[in-house]
Every structure is written in structure tokens, then in C-alpha cells.
Structure 1
Amino acid sequence: MKVSILTSGFSGEFPQSFIKCIKDYYYNDGSFVFVASDFENTYKSDKYSNAIISNFNNKNIFFNDVYVIDSRTSKEEALNLIKNSAIVFLSGGNTLKQINSIKDYELIPALQEREGITIGMSAGSINMAKNVVLAKDLEDNIPELSVYEGIGLVDINIEPHLDLSNENHLKEIHEASQHSTIYGLFDESFIAVIDADIRIYGDHHIFKS
């Protein structure tokens, strides 16, 4: 079974709805692989992977082994880690850097073929789409509207950290939605795709032309 979970971000502890979704498909008997957004920033990789693991452990979700894929990992090792993982976590951060590194490491076929759970957070969720439509956002290192081939786990485009008071960025999202429907997710909200079944948890806003 393939389980894809697209999150925006969580302000504190993981919400119970998210934890329940994980526990429905994971039984504390596998490895966890954290895929960084900026492969060169190993300090950030360790900081955020440790925080994510701590958050899971606090909710009684544990892993046999935990691995981080970044510049310290060889391509061959990265592929083996993904193929044998129970959960792959695609980090938030720099969206374009992440997808470029994933493509450079040739990880997309392995991510598409594996069974199990794939969780994206913010940038990671965006890159899970088959065809990514990414609104311009100078504050988030997106210099222009970008359309590119993503990982291909879902046919859903999201806009994380939705802020309906940011009128300038809302205009950019509306422009991007001319290319594809975009699910705007507020923090604490997430989308679970179980095989082909789509379930939305929490507040969201749909942008479509």
C-alpha cells in the first residue's frame, strides 16, 4: 500500500489526527528516512530531523533506525535507504534546491516504486506532485512562477502556510492556479492520499481557474 501525506507545517506537537493517520499504517517496526531540502546544510538536516523524530517519539511512534539523506550520503546508499524504509520524510525548506538534489541523486524511481508511507512537509509536499505548479514567492526563494516535473507520488499541488491576509501572495497563487488546481493548506492541516483515496484534514482553501 502507498500512503502519501502532504503537510503544511505544525506549530508545536503533531496533532492527534496526523498521529492517528500514521498509526493506521505504521506499527513501530521499520526505518525512518529524512530527505533534506538543502543537501549541503548538514547542520540544518540534523537539527530538523532530530526535532521531527522527537515529536514522533513523544507520540509513541518509534523507529528501528533513523537515517538522513543529504550531501553526506552517497547516491547508492540513498537509494538503498529509500527502498528499505517504512517512512520517508521529505523535509520542508528550499523547494527548488530539494527537487534538484532529488533528481541529481536519481531518487524519483525509488520513491515512486516503494510501498509504505511518504510524508512531505511544506517544500517536501510541493515536490510530491507529478507536475508541480509553484507560485512566485520571493520571501521563499521562488523568484517566478515555476512549473516542473516533480516526484510523481500524487496529482495534487499544494500551497503551504496559507495566509489569506497576504494579498500580494494570494495574487500569485491565483495566477499559478491557471495551470492547476492548488490546495492552500493552513498550518496544522494535511492531505492523506491512500492509494487513490484523497482525504483532507483541517482548514484549507482551494484555488482553481
Structure 2
Amino acid sequence: MTTYYYLGWFNNFFPKDLAHALSRDTTTRHSLVMISSNPASSSVNGFTELSWLEDAGIFFDEYHLINYEVEQEEAKRRISDASAIFLLGGDTVKQNSFLYEYDLLELIQSNGGIVIGASAGAINMSSKWVCSPNLGHLTSATTIYNGLAFHNFSVLSHFDLEHNMDVVKQELALLSDELPVFVSNKDCAIRVQENRIEIFGDVYLYSQQNMTKLTERVHSVTDFPSPL
């Protein structure tokens, strides 16, 4: 049974309840595969994201970073053998392009382990997501990208909601008519397992152009106004 974690960004480390949940879910810890958000740069190495796991007492026997330095077939083999997959934070567009260029989507979708995404990685786990200059992307036009589509919703993760809620509502309005959008900032997460969605921290649901703050608890998909 695959469990999915859509993370924001953490200034320090995971809060205790999130750390406990991740520790409980990572029952097999042979191999962690990290997928770069800027595969042309060796400096994107997952150091920060790994520090969160290590602080939570989660260690693996092997660690592998997937970027352009890794041949495509080797990348696929490592993903197939992975106990957990971590899509790193950073450049959402470059990571999305890399997933398609290396033909990694189906392998990640079929992996039976834990799948984690932080910030850009969480966004790329969406069914669809909005790339817009008003949402912090280095682009001149608004574009809809297809993600890994584990679930029938979108995610906007690690965005400065406190100062940009009106911008978020405007930019995601049309998408919210099509898909529920989970909107979060820092120090928060969404855990999805089968028909259960657990909320950690300040997370909002934007659906049919209506923004609702979610309570920190385990929800059933039937709790939400639109089908997930």
C-alpha cells in the first residue's frame, strides 16, 4: 500500500506528529531515491530534505540521487528498486521536464513504497498544476503542466500565502473549477493513503473558487466538496 506525502518546506525540522507518521510508514528502509529539481546542477543534492528525515530518526541503507549524471536506464532501475522516492524541492519546471525526458512517470506511479515530494516535488505530484509568474515561476506566460497524477487534485505547496492569498485565488480560480487544489505554505504536509487524507499544519482547500482552511486531522475523501 503506497503512502504519499505532499510537503511544504520546513525552516527547522518536521513537527513531532509528522515525524511520527513518516517513521511509522517507512517500514522498509533499504533504498531512498531522490529526484533532483535541477538535474543539470550537482549542487541540488537533497541535503536539507535529508536533514529532516535524519532528525526524525529515518535512515536508509542506500541513498541515490537521480539527475543528468545518472544514465536513464540506471535511473529507472534505481526507482524500480526504491523503498522510498523523494522528489526534491527547487525548480518545479525543470523537475517536471526531467521526469518526462527520462520517462520516469510510470515507474514512480507503480512503485509500491513511500513517495514524498517537498515544495516543487509536491507540486509535481499533482494531477495538474499552474505555472505562472505570479506564483513565483520564472516564466512570462501562465501554463498548465501535467504532473504525476497520483490523485485527482492539484497542490500549491510552499507559497507565501499570508501576503498573496488574493493572488493565489485569482491564479488558481479556473483550475479550482476543474480540480480541488490543496494550498499550503511552510511547515505543513498532506498525507494520503487510500481514501484517507491527513492534514498537518496550515492547509487550505480551494475548490469551485471557494477557499476553506482544513482542520489538522484525518479526513475521508468524502469530507470534501469535490471528488478527489
Same fold (TM > 0.5): yes
Alignment check: 8 A CA contact 2:34 2:87 kept: yes
CA distance in structure 1 between the partners assigned to 2:146 and 2:137 by the alignment: 19
**Counterpart secondary structure, 1:42:** coil
CA distance in structure 2 between the partners assigned to 1:88 and 1:37 by the alignment: 13
CA distance in structure 1 between the partners assigned to 2:90 and 2:97 by the alignment: 13
CA distance in structure 2 between the partners assigned to 1:143 and 1:123 by the alignment: 19
| Match in the other structure for 2:76 | 79
| Match in the other structure for 2:132 | 136
CA distance in structure 2 between the partners assigned to 1:186 and 1:57 by the alignment: 22
CA distance in structure 2 between the partners assigned to 1:203 and 1:26 by the alignment: 24
Shift of 1:169: 4.2
Task: Give aligned-pair identity as a percent.
Answer: 23
1:146-178 alpha-carbon deviations (Å, 9 max, x no partner): 223211222221111241322434422334423
CA distance in structure 2 between the partners assigned to 1:89 and 1:142 by the alignment: 25
CA distance in structure 1 between the partners assigned to 2:206 and 2:144 by the alignment: 16
CA distance in structure 2 between the partners assigned to 1:54 and 1:105 by the alignment: 27
**Counterpart secondary structure, 1:68:** strand
| Match in the other structure for 1:165 | 163
Alignment check: 8 A CA contact 2:131 2:137 kept: no
1:11 aligns with 2:8: no
Alignment check: 8 A CA contact 1:135 1:173 kept: no
1:67-90 alpha-carbon deviations (Å, 9 max, x no partner): 100011111111111111111100
| Match in the other structure for 2:113 | 116
1:89 aligns with 2:49: no
1:40-92 alpha-carbon deviations (Å, 9 max, x no partner): 0111x22xx12222332222111101110001111111111111111110011
Bigger RCO of structures 1 and 2 (CA < 8 A, at least 6 apart)? 1
In structure 1, runs of 5+ residues without a counterpart are none
Shift of 1:194: 0.8
| Match in the other structure for 1:23 | 23
Change (3 A) 1:137 1:178: farther
CA distance in structure 2 between the partners assigned to 1:110 and 1:79 by the alignment: 7
Shift of 1:197: 2.1
CA distance in structure 2 between the partners assigned to 1:135 and 1:104 by the alignment: 19
| Match in the other structure for 2:211 | none
TM-score by length of 2: 0.82
Paired residues for 1:182-193 under 5 Å = 182-193=181-192
Runs of 4 or more above 6 Å deviation: none
